[in-house]
């Protein structure tokens, strides 16, 4: 088969790496890709949002399957466009991707289908939003309704912080159209985890649990980021919690989408928190998570393209998993998630049998060296029998990055 992966980050590189293992895949293309993907695929200079150009490329190159990584092209209807052109694309339609694209839709959807989540209200009027915050107090959670590149969520520990967040969205237009409507939620206390699933209509096939580290610095300090690392599976998560999450959250959501005439096919991502009253949804995403994908897919034993074929036909892919654990630590540019320098040379490193490297914000030079061009630069991961062994292998690999002031990483991923 000829396969096209749409996207340019670590999640897409993980998908590419999994496709490389398949004996059913002859050629892998990635649009636009990044510097580190060149070794595994052919990078095509088409942006992920240039849907017409992607459709034209898929036709010209006889692409058998297109796998869409990021949320923006899904919300822009890339799957619909491919289907109209008679091409196969794995991901939800625009109608179904709204489960991620609008927090207000997702919350009202969960309410309609009795899916456990935090209590909430939605506002477009700043004064009413502030009155609600003062009435309910802090801690409280403020979310931009639309896509805000992972930055539209504020966990306010004081009423003043909450009001400032609301004003930044509704008055200062910090997130553009994504923040024209805000969802204000009760703060939920507990341990978070991610559970993703392959979905086709009412058929749900869960992946392994994972947990990511959102804060920039050790011990969950510093600003929220897109994710500084992850591990899978989550060792302290009881199987009864996973079963409940599959049955009362993921399966209910899949069935609800069918009932509402917007059936979901693709990866449904459940961001879940285990509270004292049971698991509740923090958010749904309509695609693989990043960085969770970088630690979940390396544990998958199945042929990835065969799984997609099976799921798309409504057939159980019978997912099999390696014994052991995977952890991955993100190397980020100094200053991330704020301002950071670009085109900074990376320290020299060589992949080994103990670890793997997933590129995100890199470009490759003619001499084969890499430069950092993004906030999250790459992820170093390892699969081992124990989480401690995986942790040690990752941090042994990261020693060259300790010698530079241009990059940083958390030292406690998986701890």
CB atoms within 10 A of CB 27: 15
Backbone angles phi, psi at 359, to 5 degrees: -85, 145
For residue range 329-369, list pLDDT tens digits in order: 999 999 999 999 999 999 988 889 999 999 999 999 888 88
Nearest to 66 by CA among 4, 145, 122: 4
**2-91 CATH choice from 3.40.470.10, 3.40.50.20, 3.40.1830.10, 3.90.550.10:** 3.40.50.20
Task: State the CATH architecture for 325-408.
Answer: Alpha-Beta Complex (3.90)
Q: Say yes or no to pLDDT of 149 above 80.
A: no
For residue 173, is pLDDT > 90?
A: no
Task: Please write the tens of the pLDDT for every residue from 151-163.
Answer: 788 889 999 999 9
The model's pTM is 0.95
Q: How far apart (Å, rounded) are the C-alpha atoms in residues 345 and 343? A: 6
What per-residue confidence (pLDDT) applies to 135? 93
Q: Count other C-beta atoms under 10 Å from residue 256's C-beta.
A: 19
Which listed CATH number (3.40.190.10, 3.40.47.10, 3.30.420.480, 3.30.1490.20) goes with 125-180?
Answer: 3.30.1490.20
pLDDT value, residue 340: 95
CA distances for 13 relative to 29, 76, 293, 309, angstroms: 11, 22, 10, 20
| CATH of region 191-312 | 3.30.470.20
What are the domain boundaries of the chain? 2-91, 125-180, 191-312, 325-408
327-340 pLDDT per residue, tens: 999 999 999 999 99
Domains 2-91 and 125-180 belong to one CATH topology:
no
Chain segment 262-317, per-residue pLDDT in tens: 999 999 999 999 999 999 999 999 999 999 999 999 999 999 999 999 999 999 99
Comparing C-alpha atoms, which of 106, 75, 25 is closest to residue 266?
A: 75
| Residue 150 confidence (pLDDT) above 80 | no
């Amino acid at each position: 088969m000829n396969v096209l992966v749409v996207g340019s980050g670590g999640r897409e590189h993980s998908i590419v790496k999994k496709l490389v293992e398949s004996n059913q895949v002859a050629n892998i293309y990635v649009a636009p890709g990044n510097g580190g993907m060149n070794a595994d695929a052919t990078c095509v200079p088409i942006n992920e949002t240039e849907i017409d150009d992607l459709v034209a490329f898929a036709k010209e190159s006889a692409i058998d399957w297109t796998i869409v990584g990021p949320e923006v092209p899904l919300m822009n209807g890339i799957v619909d466009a491919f289907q109209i052109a008679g091409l196969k694309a794995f991901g939800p339609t625009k109608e179904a991707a709204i489960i991620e694209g609008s927090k207000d839709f997702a919350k009202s959807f969960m309410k309609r289908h009795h899916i456990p989540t935090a209590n909430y209200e939605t506002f477009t009027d700043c004064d009413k939003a502030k009155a609600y915050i003062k009435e309910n107090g802090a801690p409280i959670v403020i979310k931009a309704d639309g896509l805000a590149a992972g930055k539209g969520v504020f966990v306010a520990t004081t009423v003043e912080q909450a009001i400032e967040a609301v004003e930044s969205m509704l008055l200062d237009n910090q997130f553009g159209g994504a923040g024209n409507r805000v969802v204000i939620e009760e703060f939920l206390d507990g341990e978070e985890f991610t559970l993703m699933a392959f979905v086709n209509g009412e058929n749900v096939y869960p992946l392994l649990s994972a947990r990511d580290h959102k804060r920039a610095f050790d011990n969950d300090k510093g600003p929220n980021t897109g994710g500084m690392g992850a591990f899978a599976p989550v060792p302290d998560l009881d199987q009864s919690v996973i079963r409940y999450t599959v049955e009362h959250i993921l399966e209910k959501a899949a069935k609800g989408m069918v009932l509402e005439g917007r059936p979901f096919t693709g990866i449904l991502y459940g961001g879940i928190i285990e509270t004292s009253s049971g698991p509740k949804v923090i958010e749904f995403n309509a695609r693989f998570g990043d960085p969770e994908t970088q630690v979940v897919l390396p544990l998958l034993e199945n042929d990835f393209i065969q799984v997609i074929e099976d799921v798309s036909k409504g057939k159980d892919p019978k997912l099999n998993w390696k014994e052991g654990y995977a952890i991955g630590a993100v190397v980020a540019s100094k200053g991330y998630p704020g301002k950071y320098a670009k085109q900074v040379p990376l320290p020299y490193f060589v992949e080994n049998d103990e670890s793997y490297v997933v590129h995100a914000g890199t470009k490759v030079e003619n001499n084969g060296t890499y430069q950092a061009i993004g906030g999250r630069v790459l992820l170093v991961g390892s699969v081992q029998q124990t989480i401690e062994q995986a942790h040690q292998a990752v941090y042994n690999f990261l020693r060259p990055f300790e010698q530079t002031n241009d990059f940083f990483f958390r030292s406690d991923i998986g701890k």
